[in-house]
Amino acid sequence: MFALDRRHLRVAGIDEAGRGPLAGPVAVAAVILDPARPIEGLDDSKKLTPARREALYPLIVTRAAAWHIEMMAVEEIDRLNILHATLEGMRRCVLALGTQVELARIDGNTVPRALPCMAEALVGGDALDPAIMAASILAKVARDRLMGELHAQHPLYGFDGHKGYSTPAHLAALARHGPCPHHRRSFAPVREAAERMRERAPATA
């Protein structure tokens, strides 16, 4: 039996952004790089400045052989839990790319179920695999842009600054105003803030 040579497979790198925040969706991206159109400067999105991520974003979407971004909404996060919502987003990304994907290489230690192709998890993959790096950049930029849009709708929370993460300023705004429709009710600080708001609400006749 011959060992599989994975060097010649069409690989989709997959990563997410936004598992930890208290608000907003989790963004998942998949990228198949084109060896004939290399992209200089790819790295783990967390190691890049916002300006550098924004500069790389159009290079990735124009030079990649294929790419897809999936936004898993707050409602799905609350219904499935954040891990399973993230895995479902990864599965949807692979399905969106269709038969172009021969191997899905996923950042982390868990592979989604029911994928139509081979798959492997790579811990720390966003620092090791260029396709995963590209996916991490697309997911991060797309989510940050969306959080800027949510800030315009709900400026009291400062989403444009902390992107929904549990910073002291965000927690203070959450305690003061209660959650908005884009907060994750399944996350303890949001659930507790909602309960406190209900307790403070005046009784109706």
Predicted pLDDT at 159: 98
Count the alpha carbons within 13 Å of 152 in the hemisphere toward its beta carbon.
5
**Residue-level pLDDT at 205:** 45
pLDDT of residue 7: 64
- Side-chain-side CA neighbours of 89 within 13 Å: the count stands at 31
Separation between Cα atoms, residue 184 and residue 88, nearest integer Å? 17
The predicted-structure confidence for 110-143, as pLDDT tens digits, reads as follows: 999 999 999 999 999 999 999 999 999 999 999 9
What pLDDT, on a 0 to 100 scale, did the predictor assign at position 2? 37
The predicted structure's pLDDT at residue 202: 72
What domains, with CATH codes, occur in the chain?
A: 6-154 (3.30.420.10)
- pLDDT per position in the chain (205 positions), as tens? 334 456 668 999 999 999 999 999 999 999 999 999 999 999 999 999 999 999 999 999 999 999 999 999 999 999 999 999 999 999 999 999 999 999 999 999 999 999 999 999 999 999 999 999 999 999 999 999 999 999 999 999 999 999 999 999 999 999 999 999 999 999 999 999 999 999 887 755 4
Res 4: pLDDT: 45
Residue 170 confidence (pLDDT): 98
Q: What pLDDT, on the 0 to 100 scale, is given for residue 8?
A: 65
